Structure 1
Amino acid sequence: MNDDSSAAVVADSLRKELNRFPAGARLPSSRTLVERFGVSPVTVSRALAALAAEGLVVTRPGAGTYRAAEDAGRPRTVDTSWQQVALTAEDPDAAPRVVDAAGVLATLAPPPPGVIAFTGGYLHPTLQPERALGAALARAARRPGAWERPPVEGLTALRAWFGREAGVGPAQVLITAGGQAALTTALRALAPPGGAVLVESPTYPGALAVARAAGLRPVPVPVDAEGVRPDLLADAFAASGARVFFCQPLFQNPTGAVLAAGRRRQVLDIARAAGAFVVEDDFARRLGHGGPLPSPLIADDPYGTVVHVASLTKPTSPSLRVGALIARGPVVERLRAIQVVDSFFVPRPLQEATLELVGAPAWPRHLRAVAAALRERREAMLAALRHRSPALVPAAAPAGGHHLWLRLPDGADETALAAGALRAGVALAPGRPYFPAESPAPFVRVTFADTSGPEEITEGVRRLALALAGESVGRLG
């Protein structure tokens, strides 16, 4: 059991015992609690801090910990019924704002105990560069001026680092608090209120959530094994009047497709002819499984059509929320203004730590280790599917990313399957939230990055096969 879970156990136990102490009474000493629970002083300190944050106890340095007043930690009951009117009373001519975070939360919520997570959107803790991150943060904290206010655009050295891959200078780069924040800023900056935004179909649910929360109207453009279909993209621009197209040309989420070389120029030309921007979400740039990668779309764009989103969160840690917005032309100032209004700037210590991380000799070694680990996990999942559920094996294995997109048999109920899989001990994501309109077929997305390795993946697929058999029996019956 780690320190955080141990602290939670101690806090829960003390919380249940607080009624034994009158208000203002002193609780047992930290030394007594250490001996009683058999934990470290740090664990006891964390448990008491949690109770103090809830207003249940008061800690007095040098004197001990005391139970708080009777009503200190008790939440106040208020009538919030009026908010149901305020949150829905909008201009009837405007597109409704729909704030639905379910698709995003599905990748953030930890599974119940004993459940294998085929839903995680980040690397398993054993694959995260925890030691390198700790060392980078420690070195960054000692840098002169590390705690001073950074430029609102971000540190020049970090902007230059992100810009090199895109073929631009630091003046075209803004540092953001991760890829999701960058995407939010981009869509708010580029799409008119109530307007349409073209998206790949299927696509990343977080993009759909951002668009709808901003009052925008997502319009689907179907993808196939070679990425978005240019013929349908041109039709969608003409029919919708959209001025923004959101896409993931590299290891698309959820299909894993890479935009074919012959389509790259077509996409840029179609968008330019429509007077529109292409928002390129390059989230998987450092999640390849080995082998050469195509350059970002922005590197082939001399006209300022592409607004590029980059992030270091996926190949490192969920808590390293550092990304970048890269663009050419006046749009940079629009992006900068919106980011400043929203969040001022990314904390300087985090930017300094990122520079330390990507500049260390361990960085390229880490990326090679991630590529090998993802490749191993992908092959383990494919092998297990061939053994247990060969009908689910995709026609082509993705060459990067952290998931597989599985087409279910016609008539399958993906929601029922996900529920049955959870009962069987494996969590997966139904495909419906990935489509901005009606889904053409049943799908599920299964991730392999947030697993401990092939053994856990093999067991998870076994449980999935049992759930699929149960769903089929229920449907036929």
Structure 2
Amino acid sequence: MGERSSVAELAAILRAELNRYSVGEKLPSSRALMERHQVSPVTVSRAIAVLAAEGAVVSRPGAGVFRAGPRVASAAAPADLSWQEVALSAEAGQPPARSTDSSGVLSALTVQPPDVIDLNSGYLHPSLQPERALAAALARAGRRPGAWERPPVDGLPELRAWFARDIGGHVSTSDVLVCAGGQSALTTALRSLAATGAPVLVESPTYPGTLAVARAAGLRPVPVPVDADGLRTDLLADAFDATRARVLVCQPLFQNPTGAVLAPERRREVLRIARAAGAFVVEDDFARRLVHADAPPLPAPLAADDPDGVVVHVRSLTKPSSPSLRVGALTARGPALARLRAVQSVDSFFVPRPLQETALELVSSPAWPRHLRTLAEALRERRQTTVAALRRTLPELLPDSSPDRPGLGGYHLWLRLPEGMDEAAVTAAALRAGVAVTAGRPYFAAEPPGSFLRLCYAFAQSPAQLTEGVERLARAIG
């Protein structure tokens, strides 16, 4: 049983037992709860935290946990918030109006009930996260001199140097700005490089978070199609000419959602076309540390082959470690870097120093490369298990080019539904059958060419659960 479900079950048991205690009466000690329910100290503390957040108990350090009194309902009249409808729509007549469609992002962040197999989340299951290494890194970081002092605005020099080495090529420490994860980096990049109302070229399909960031900044996403070899460079120059866009956002490695890797000849073309258009390429290199064990050597990032400052590189530690280690890097040169620094400093001042120190301790330890090797093996096994289950139960959804060929990485499969099948109906039926999958529509900036599903295999508890999840999906499709 996973830690998350154990916490939920213990919290439910304790919640049901609260009526045995009068208000202010002390509950059994943590040790007693551990022995009675055969759970770990972490499970007990997290279950108590759940009840404390609900207001059911009060935790007093050194004294114990006590039943809380009933909450007093507020007698105040409901607030009148209708004025906000006018205030938030005041710029609706100015093309394009800023809008924040968070549906695609929130879908990926939704925590499913324990009885639902999650083939939706893009994060690692806790069993795949380097929890011990993270805990040790956090403890060491807390003992570092000055760990709670204000960090440099650009980030800790040692962490910036590590990111520069990790990216390689022409990138130096002075080109790196530490940021609060990949999503924050994309937000800073688009707000810095494109004026409100401007077009921005995006892959089609693409990560919904990119579309959400662009629209929230008042930008107009313009799609450029992706095929099995990545971004269609034969259409890229036409898109730049037609729109006069000055920014392209792309994921050259293990693209989300298709998993495509940009072909070598197209890598050169992307840089050539962007340079000729006087445009920036925002390279979202989110999946580089999610390579599978059977993959050949990876191509270098576009930023490593770019001496002219065309590429603004985005790199994050979140995906291969933990959703809560929100530390990443933005890499740029010249006035673009100064613009990025200015926008980020206004938005958030800096990334908290304890988090940077923890990230530095993690990537500098021998546990980090060991974790990456273990993760590569686990992701390969999970991909193979998911593809095998699809071949048995839903072979018509697999693309002609096998997604199980060596060289893939990432954590997801992109499946096209048969003509006429409604993806919204399929995802709803799947959820009723006990498996969460992702509909394809949020991945398109314009009308999609068909119906699609994205299946993620990183957050399920085990390979066996992946097989069960695909079988539930097959039953839902009928």
TM-score, with structure 1 as normaliser: 0.90
> Residue in 1 aligned with 2:459?
450
Residue identity matched to 1:215: G
Instruction: For residue 454 of structure 1, report the CA deviation from its aligned partner.
Output: 2.4
2:8 is equivalent to residue 30 of structure 1: no
Instruction: For residue 9 of structure 1, report the CA deviation from its aligned partner.
Output: 2.4
Change (3 A) 1:212 1:11: farther
Instruction: For residue 32 of structure 1, report the CA deviation from its aligned partner.
Output: 8.1
Instruction: Give the Cα–Cα distance (whole angstroms) in 2 for the partners of residues 192 and 410 of structure 1.
Output: 39
Instruction: Give the Cα–Cα distance (whole angstroms) in 1 for the partners of residues 324 and 68 of structure 2.
Output: 34
> Residue in 2 aligned with 1:153?
154
Instruction: For residue 72 of structure 1, report the CA deviation from its aligned partner.
Output: 7.3
> Residue in 2 aligned with 1:200?
203
> Residue in 2 aligned with 1:219?
222
> Residue in 2 aligned with 1:166?
168
Residue identity matched to 2:236: L
Change (3 A) 1:141 1:73: farther
Instruction: For residue 177 of structure 1, report the CA deviation from its aligned partner.
Output: 0.7
- DSSP-derived class of the 1:31 partner: coil
Deviations 1:93-147 (A, max 9, x none): 2311221111111221122221111111011111110011111111111111111
| Aligned pairs for 1:297-376 within 5 A | 297-376=302-381
Instruction: Give the Cα–Cα distance (whole angstroms) in 2 for the partners of residues 404 and 42 of structure 1.
Output: 34
> Residue in 2 aligned with 1:138?
139
Residue identity matched to 2:129: Q
Instruction: Give the Cα–Cα distance (whole angstroms) in 1 for the partners of residues 242 and 305 of structure 2.
Output: 27
> Residue in 1 aligned with 2:128?
127
Instruction: For residue 236 of structure 1, report the CA deviation from its aligned partner.
Output: 1.1
Instruction: Give the Cα–Cα distance (whole angstroms) in 2 for the partners of residues 441 and 58 of structure 1.
Output: 53
Instruction: Give the Cα–Cα distance (whole angstroms) in 1 for the partners of residues 121 and 341 of structure 2.
Output: 31
Answer yes or no: is the 8 Å Cα contact 1:280–1:297 preserved in 2: yes
Change (3 A) 1:208 1:33: same
- DSSP-derived class of the 1:30 partner: coil
Instruction: Give the Cα–Cα distance (whole angstroms) in 2 for the partners of residues 337 and 421 of structure 1.
Output: 45
Change (3 A) 1:223 1:42: closer
Instruction: For residue 338 of structure 1, report the CA deviation from its aligned partner.
Output: 0.7
2:477 is equivalent to residue 462 of structure 1: no
RMSD of the TM alignment (CA)? 2.7
Answer yes or no: is the 8 Å Cα contact 2:29–2:64 preserved in 1: no
- DSSP-derived class of the 2:357 partner: helix
Instruction: For residue 278 of structure 1, report the CA deviation from its aligned partner.
Output: 0.5
Change (3 A) 1:68 1:240: same
Answer yes or no: is the 8 Å Cα contact 1:56–1:73 preserved in 2: no
Instruction: Give the Cα–Cα distance (whole angstroms) in 2 for the partners of residues 185 and 468 of structure 1.
Output: 41
Instruction: Give the Cα–Cα distance (whole angstroms) in 1 for the partners of residues 50 and 299 of structure 2.
Output: 48
Instruction: Give the Cα–Cα distance (whole angstroms) in 1 for the partners of residues 65 and 127 of structure 2.
Output: 38
Change (3 A) 1:467 1:356: same
> Residue in 2 aligned with 1:258?
261
Residue identity matched to 1:98: S
My pick for the range that moved more, 58-67 or 330-339, is 58-67
Instruction: Give the Cα–Cα distance (whole angstroms) in 1 for the partners of residues 319 and 254 of structure 2.
Output: 13
2:398 is equivalent to residue 396 of structure 1: no
> Residue in 2 aligned with 1:383?
388
Deviations 1:149-171 (A, max 9, x none): 11011000100111112331111
Change (3 A) 1:118 1:60: closer
Instruction: For residue 215 of structure 1, report the CA deviation from its aligned partner.
Output: 1.2
My pick for the range that moved more, 237-246 or 163-172, is 163-172
Instruction: Give the Cα–Cα distance (whole angstroms) in 1 for the partners of residues 33 and 326 of structure 2.
Output: 39
Instruction: Give the Cα–Cα distance (whole angstroms) in 2 for the partners of residues 151 and 357 of structure 1.
Output: 20
Residue identity matched to 1:88: S
Answer yes or no: is the 8 Å Cα contact 1:11–1:50 preserved in 2: no
Deviations 1:291-312 (A, max 9, x none): 2000000111111110000001
Instruction: Give the Cα–Cα distance (whole angstroms) in 2 for the partners of residues 71 and 467 of structure 1.
Output: 45
Instruction: Give the Cα–Cα distance (whole angstroms) in 2 for the partners of residues 136 and 126 of structure 1.
Output: 18
Deviations 1:412-437 (A, max 9, x none): 11111111111111111011110110
2:251 is equivalent to residue 245 of structure 1: no
Instruction: For residue 82 of structure 1, report the CA deviation from its aligned partner.
Output: 1.2
Change (3 A) 1:269 1:63: closer
Instruction: For residue 73 of structure 1, report the CA deviation from its aligned partner.
Output: 7.4
Answer yes or no: is the 8 Å Cα contact 1:10–1:44 preserved in 2: no
Instruction: Give the Cα–Cα distance (whole angstroms) in 2 for the partners of residues 63 and 177 of structure 1.
Output: 36
Residue identity matched to 1:79: D
Equivalent residue for 1:185, pick from 184, 188, 202:
188
Residue identity matched to 1:260: A
Instruction: Give the Cα–Cα distance (whole angstroms) in 2 for the partners of residues 369 and 91 of structure 1.
Output: 50
TM-score, with structure 2 as normaliser: 0.90
- DSSP-derived class of the 1:457 partner: helix
Which 5+ residue runs of structure 1 have no aligned equivalent? Answer: 470-477
Instruction: Give the Cα–Cα distance (whole angstroms) in 2 for the partners of residues 67 and 112 of structure 1.
Output: 27
Instruction: Give the Cα–Cα distance (whole angstroms) in 1 for the partners of residues 47 and 394 of structure 2.
Output: 46
% identical equivalent positions: 62
> Residue in 2 aligned with 1:116?
117
How many residues get paired? 463
> Residue in 2 aligned with 1:472?
none
Change (3 A) 1:454 1:42: closer
Change (3 A) 1:32 1:319: closer
Change (3 A) 1:460 1:47: closer
Answer yes or no: is the 8 Å Cα contact 2:282–2:314 preserved in 1: yes
Residue identity matched to 1:396: S
Change (3 A) 1:35 1:430: same
Instruction: Give the Cα–Cα distance (whole angstroms) in 2 for the partners of residues 35 and 74 of structure 1.
Output: 40
2:415 is equivalent to residue 406 of structure 1: yes
Instruction: Give the Cα–Cα distance (whole angstroms) in 2 for the partners of residues 91 and 199 of structure 1.
Output: 24
